[in-house]
Each structure stands twice: as structure tokens, then as C-alpha cells.
Amino acid sequence: MIGDKKIVFSGVQPSGNLTIGNYLGAIKNFSRFSEDYKTFYCVVDLHAITVRQVPAELRRRTYETLALYMACGLDEKKNTLFVQSHVPAHAELGWMLDCYTMFGELSRMTQFKDKSQKHSQNINAGLFTYPTLMAADILLYQTDIVPVGVDQRQHLELARDIGMRFNQIYGDTFTIPEGYMSTDTMKIMSLAEPTSKMSKSDTNQNAVVYILDSKDDVMRKFKKAVTDSEACVRYSEDKPGVSNLMSIYRAFTGKSFEEIEREFDGKGYGDFKMAVGEACADGLAPVRDEFARLMADKAHLEAVMKAGADEAAYFARKTMSKVRRKIGFVN
């Protein structure tokens, strides 16, 4: 809590082009907190290096992710926007919390198991302790609320457990965060494999719609989207492809599932997929235009990075001073 405002923290990795799943499930919803909460939104570049990165690409994507934050509606005057590695306290607290996190807890993390299979030649210690660094990100700012997707709930629960464990040992130190899951949008699934989440690392480019895709690319991908043989636009668990497209259409138009079913009653999937593509492309157009404008002014992005890091570091120092004293470190 800062004054009478609760604190919100979230972060996005600069590890690839962001998808409409990232946009609809996370970034688009961030701005709703800007007026009534103190918000910290971070480009989590330290997390990105658990997987090998090309240095020049990582730098470029860091700028791009910050620009996307802003293009998606995050005003730098109302939100603290910064790069994780610019505030060294994240890594420092991450190491400290490693010492209060149990091996068994980390070994149960499903994302570690999944990523270990995908990156079997590089199962590094950072990949294993990634959730503890995420806990540090959150606890560092005495965060009250974390906007979180389904796939990150397990990590948030671990952050809560670590914070409570530290508080039990040393007394009140960390605010224990609550998760916030938007009810406005469903989890966005792959267009090619609608039983799997849409992933920016998917090797099938037709399965993923990126925020910065051109309208032609968006339309092409939706035309190829998997549906079923029923030829009926109806939301149902046994129709994952159609239901996924309905979720995307609902997110961009604000229409309910019932309204969508009525709109496409008696129409084929071809018309439906074209309509979803149009709604998606039109919804993303202002974001793409603003992103291009921001990326043309790198000096402004760097000024936002610096101002955000300075403000984040100020709040981080307060927490770290308390943590160091309680652990027993000499100032």
C-alpha cells in the first residue's frame, strides 16, 4: 500500500513477438489499474535468459516490449514502466529468497518440467529457480495484487508461500499478494491446436496471431484456423476450435457468446472466420500504429526506462533495507 492506493505488479518477458493471447489476457487489462492503484509494470529481461538469447535480439525486444506496453495504453505518467535488470534489487532479493525456498517446492513447478522438455540441452539452475525470482519481483514492491494468467497461478502461490515463510521467521516483512484473474477474456488457444494455449514460441506460425501482424497476415491465419465439421457457431467444450474463435471475437467486440451465436446463426464457418479476423485486425491497428511511432523515438523509450527504474529502485530500496536488517546483514 502506498498512501491509500494498493500496489499492482506484473511483468512480460522480451523473449519473442507478443501474441493476442498476451494482449487480451494480460497487457490490455493492465491499464484498468492505472487510476486507482500504484502500478509497476516490468520488462523481465532477467527471466528471459533462462533460455539462450541472441544479445542484439534481446536488446531490440526489450525496447519493443516497453513500446508495446505503452502502445497498448499504459501511460508512463500513470504507471511505473521499467526494465528488470535496471533494478539490481530483483536479483539480490531473488538470491536471498532462494535460501528460503525448498528444493521440493521448485521441483513441483509444472513450467520447469515443460521447459525442461523443450530445452533439454540447457536445463540450467536459473530455469529451476525462475519462480523464486518471480517471487522476488512481486514481494520487492510490497505488491497487493498480481494480474495473473492460469499458467502462472502456481508461481504466484509459491510467492505467497515464500513471503509467509519469511514473515513467520522474521516478523512482518512482506505484503502477501493476491492474484487477479480477469473474467473478461478466456484463455486464448492455438489456432491450429485449439486444445493448447497460443504460444509465441510455437513453430507453426499459422497457429499464432501476433500483436504486430499485418492485417493480411491476421486474415490469412484466421482463414486457416481449425474448426470442426458441424458448421455451427456454438460455444461448447466439445467444439474447442470454434469456442476459441468465439472467445477472441468476444474480446475484440464486447459481444456475449449468445449474441455471437445469434449473429452467425445459419452462416458458415467461412463468414465467421472472416468476421473474427476483421475484428482482430481492426482492434490491433491502433496498437500497431502507436508502436511504430514509439519505436521511431528510441530516446523517449530510454527516458521512460530511466525514470521508471529510478522510481522502482526507490521503492525497492525500502524493502531491501528491511530485509537485510531482519536477516542480520551489516549495513
Q: Supply the pTM of this predicted model.
A: 0.88
Based on the residue annotation, tell me whether 28 is a catalytic residue of this protein. no
Q: Do domains 7-185+298-327 and 205-291 have the same CATH topology?
A: no
All 3 cell numbers of residue 133? 525470482
Question: How many residues in the chain?
Answer: 331
170, HSE (Cβ side, Cα atoms, 13 Å): 15
Sign of CA dihedral 18, 19, 20, 21: negative
Between vectors from CA 176 to CA 174 and to CA 178, what angle results, nearest 5°? 150
pLDDT score for 183: 61
pLDDT score for 63: 97
CATH topology of domain 7-185+298-327: Rossmann fold (3.40.50)
Nearest to 12 by CA among 147, 140, 114, 175: 147
pLDDT score for 283: 95
Q: The cell 530516446 sits on which residue?
A: 299
Catalytic residue among 6, 28, 115, 221: 115
Catalytic residue among 5, 200, 223, 255: 200
Q: Does domain 205-291 bear CATH number 1.10.240.10? A: yes
Contact 314, 86 (CB under 8 A): no
Domains in the chain: boundaries: 7-185+298-327, 205-291
Based on the residue annotation, tell me whether 197 is a catalytic residue of this protein. yes
Catalytic residue among 5, 78, 187, 197: 197
Contact 80, 311 (CB under 8 A): yes
pLDDT score for 18: 87
pLDDT score for 260: 96
Per-residue pLDDT tens, the chain, 331 aa: give them: 777 899 999 999 997 688 998 888 778 878 889 889 999 999 999 999 988 899 999 999 999 999 999 999 999 999 999 999 999 999 999 999 999 999 989 988 887 667 666 767 778 888 889 999 999 999 999 999 998 776 778 889 999 999 999 999 999 999 999 998 766 556 799 999 999 989 887 889 899 999 999 999 999 999 999 999 888 999 998 999 999 999 999 999 999 999 999 999 989 999 999 999 999 999 999 999 999 999 999 999 999 999 999 999 999 999 999 999 999 999 8
All 3 cell numbers of residue 226? 481449425
pLDDT score for 162: 97
**Contacts for 244-249: CB closer than 8 Å, 24+ residues apart:** 244/186, 244/188, 244/189, 244/191, 244/194, 245/272, 245/273, 245/276, 247/185, 247/186, 247/187, 247/188, 247/189, 248/20, 248/24, 248/188, 248/276, 248/279, 248/280, 249/275, 249/276, 249/279
Based on the residue annotation, tell me whether 200 is a catalytic residue of this protein. yes
Contact 63, 295 (CB under 8 A): yes
pLDDT score for 84: 98
If 0-12 CB within 10 Å is exposed, 13-18 middle and 19+ buried, where does residue 290 land? middle
